[in-house]
Structure 1
Amino acid sequence: MTTPGFTVWLTGPDPTALRPVADDIAARLAARHRAAEIFDAETPGIEVLAGEQFEGRVTFLAEVLAHHGVATIVALGPPAGETRRTCAQLIEVLVHAGEPRTSRYAPPERPEVEIVLPEPVPGAGAERTIRTLEVMKMLGRETGGVYSEDEEREIIRRLKAFGYL
């Protein structure tokens, strides 16, 4: 049986900032031998999905891939409330970077992860995203980690206290 996949939906006022974050998350998943697919404006063939119900078609593809164990990273703008209800295994990541490119951008109400660019520690936001996937049981924990289960619980408690999770 295939390990279930999930969707990481990146959103933010500057769409050009999303791809580097998506690449970082995908690289971390690849290091764990997880198949990952990125959908963004540069994805070959994405234009065939354009038009009304664009988001619905992208969501459908993400769900099909997730059914087959693929982690899908969508960097195409904010998902609507309907998408949040439709996508079974979805986390939303809000990427703050520079000035908004459009005044029409509406940030998500409760993203699971927020990343502010530039980051003091490069890759910290992608790592928080991976940890959030683990905490939400969408991604298995790496085995052979450097922390015991008790230490892991303490780290998670502290991260929550600091507002990172």
Structure 2
Amino acid sequence: MSTVDLNSVTTESISRIAIFNDDFDKFQSYTLAGTDFPTVDISRLDKEQDDFWSLGVGNFVADRIYHSKISTGERWIWRKPGFSPSEPIFVREPGKTDSLEGVIISVASPVDVNSTEKAFVLILEPEDLSEIARIYFEEDVKIALGFHGIFVPLKIFRISKKDKNSADFEPCST
């Protein structure tokens, strides 16, 4: 127990609360860079869950999706070199109750802005992350990397004619 002076008039005793198990430091990490945007089946938030999905960070940008099973420590990985997936979302199949009955949806974008490959919506089996389908965006559609971003029609901007290789943009009049 430690005592904290809250407002110099009264004191209140508080105790430390363990929010991790004693073996937390032994938790196996999947990558030295980390993982982000963990998600579960939100339709089952009132129930104990054994599975979660997250983005894996390879170097400085997310480059894979993980499915992790907490009870066994198993993990499955989806990865396409040169692409960065967005936050994985679990969508339950209507009327189903099993924790893995549904799909994982993400958007995968080429990391290289000069890539000729197209971004796509990715639909995965939730257990082993095998691909069910890809839905490609049109060739001129560019999707920003990462979860946060702003999306505008490409026709709103054009590259400055002063330097075609410049990253400077100016508003298009049409």
Instruction: Tell me the TM-score range normalised by the shorter chain.
Output: under 0.3
Q: Which has the higher helix share?
A: 1
Q: TM-score, normalised by structure 1?
A: 0.24
Q: TM-score, normalised by structure 2?
A: 0.23
Q: Which has the higher strand share?
A: 2
